[in-house]
Chains A and B, each alone.
Chain A
Amino acid sequence: MNTLDFSIVAQSWPYLWSGLVFSLSLTAAAFAIGMVLGTCLALVQHFEVPVLAQVVRGYVAVIRSIPLILVLFWFFFLVPIVLGYLSGNGRPVPIGATFTAFITFGLFEAAYYSEIIRVGLRAVNKGQFEACQALALSTYDTYRHIVLPQVLRVASPIILSQTIILFQDTSLVYVLSLTDLLGAASKLAQLNGRLVEMYLVVALAYLAISSAASQCVAILRKRYALATSR
């Protein structure tokens, strides 16, 4: 057993930090895209929009049944082709792996968030809709001001749990050779041969961030439980 030398980690701190920043910004972007798109997907299913609802259901089922790595490969291959088709000249548009990762995680997470919101929509009391009708609110106003805020509040602990999973899943961009936290550590480890120290530090960093976020989930859950008991 070799002696551990963590000074190497201190030296390479700036590089690891930039990796962590990438991981966090990928998480934030995927969260933003995923929540907006996921809400739309959930509403399409909720309103049973003809044809579109079936398509969305199929999309969600497929995304949830295949591994994220395979989804990453799919998008890495498809996105340039689709963009080429959209841009009109029909030739694949080469885009960076970074951009692909942002798109993929956004679309992938949309499927998961949409399921959470869809179940949340079903949990809203019928009386809420009836009250809105009695007040002559339009469907848009009903959902925008009454229903969705409640759903988001009720589902907030689950949404945060899903976001923690998303943060952990961003490590899979390793297969696209991107420099996220794990990618940075693995590139450094290959340079300096300090695999053990690098991976241990990365594991601790993920552990610290995810555990802290899990505590927030517990707080949200408690606060929400208090709110409903009133």
Chain B
Amino acid sequence: MFGVLFEQTADGQRYIDWLLSGLGWTLALAFFGWWIAFGIGVVVGVGRTVQNRFLAIPARLYVEIFRNIPVLVQMFLWYFVFPEVVPSALGDAIKQIPPPWASFFPALLCLGLYTASRIAEQVRAGIEALPRGQIEAANALGLSGYLTYRYVIVPQALRLIVPSLTSEVMGIYKNTSVALTIGLMELTAQARQISEATFQTFTAFGAATIIYLCLALIAYQGMMLIDKAVRIPGSAPVKLSADADLAAEVQQAGALPNALEAAK
């Protein structure tokens, strides 16, 4: 069934090389996008919890804006609109970027900033889940606000939210496929291209589906290992099961845990 993948393409490669190159772009986008998202997400998430209004309001606005516009629309904003609204010298410089990178960078920026808004909410939930005594103890020891966050709050919150972050890891690699709309030949785009070239639609999409499933499994197992390594000893073990990302949503929504508490 997958034999067609090893046939020659018009450009002298094999179809499987197309798929692998697509996989490469998908992984590159997801990997680098993740670190942008994680960095910004932690900062914004902390900003959501501080008393200082000059930090809290921009952080809230950031989350509201980036979470409430569809990824595809954000993709178009970075790709089509951004070069037009910046000063024309910069805009022209952006338009000079050669093909694959001209799609890659806007996609990277888009996915990074979008995912950051989702991570920020997880970080906020993690910080709010910490007992108040932690902050009070840090105050009693004379730690400044910055030091409290840097050494007491953020490290613990991050360790708490590893299971919830699994859903964001899976979210970012799935969202990489949106980059095909601005011309990046990532995995889904390559699968479609193979299907159009060979009419073996079932094989082409099937291969891509299997690759995505493997990525999901790797992401899931990897996050489980990380969770095991960094889980706070003695904290209520967060069950990392097949519904980890739902558990994350539930935690975020706060509704079901409340219901569980009430039920007890």
Which A positions have Cβ atoms within 8 angstroms of B?
A: 1-2, 57, 61-62, 64-70, 73-74, 77, 115-116, 118-120, 123-125, 154-158, 161-162, 164, 168-169, 171-172, 174-175, 182, 186, 189, 195-196, 199-200, 202-203, 206-207, 210-211, 214, 217, 221, 224-225, 228-229
Q: Is B165 an interface residue (CB 8 A)?
A: no
How near does chain A come to B39, taking the closest CB pair, in angstroms?
Answer: 24
8 Å CB interface, B70-100 against A:
70-74, 76-77, 80-81, 84-88, 91
Chain B residues near A115 (CB, 8 Å)?
A: 243, 246
Q: Is B198 an interface residue (CB 8 A)?
A: no
Question: A-B contact count, CB below 8 Å?
Answer: 162
Bound CA span A123–B247, Å: 12
- Does A119 lie within 8 Å of B246, measured CB to CB? yes
**Can you give 29 A-B contacts (C-beta < 8 A)?**
A1-B91, A61-B242, A64-B170, A68-B177, A70-B177, A73-B188, A73-B192, A73-B205, A119-B247, A119-B250, A123-B260, A125-B263, A158-B256, A161-B249, A162-B249, A164-B68, A169-B70, A172-B178, A175-B181, A195-B81, A196-B80, A196-B84, A199-B76, A199-B81, A203-B69, A206-B68, A214-B68, A221-B255, A228-B258
Bound CA span A115–B241, Å: 12
- Does A200 lie within 8 Å of B259, measured CB to CB? no
Q: Is B153 an interface residue (CB 8 A)?
A: no
- Does B254 lie within 8 Å of A168, measured CB to CB? no
Chain A residues near B253 (CB, 8 Å)?
A: 157-158, 161, 217, 221
Q: Is B65 an interface residue (CB 8 A)?
A: yes
Bound CA span A125–B261, Å: 10
- Does B177 lie within 8 Å of A67, measured CB to CB? yes
How near does chain A come to B241, taking the closest CB pair, in angstroms?
Answer: 10
Interface range on chain B (Cβ under 8 Å from partner) = 35 or more
Interface segment, B8-16, B44-52, B207-215? B207-215
- Does B205 lie within 8 Å of A211, measured CB to CB? no
How near does chain A come to B260, taking the closest CB pair, in angstroms?
Answer: 6
With A1-B84, A1-B86, A195-B81 given, is the CB distance from A172 to B72 under 8 Å?
yes
Chain A residues near B201 (CB, 8 Å)?
A: 77
Chain A residues near B85 (CB, 8 Å)?
A: 1, 196
- Does B212 lie within 8 Å of A168, measured CB to CB? no
With A66-B174, A172-B72 given, is the CB distance from A196 to B81 under 8 Å?
yes
Q: Is B229 an interface residue (CB 8 A)?
A: no
Q: Is B140 an interface residue (CB 8 A)?
A: no
- Does B80 lie within 8 Å of A199, measured CB to CB? yes
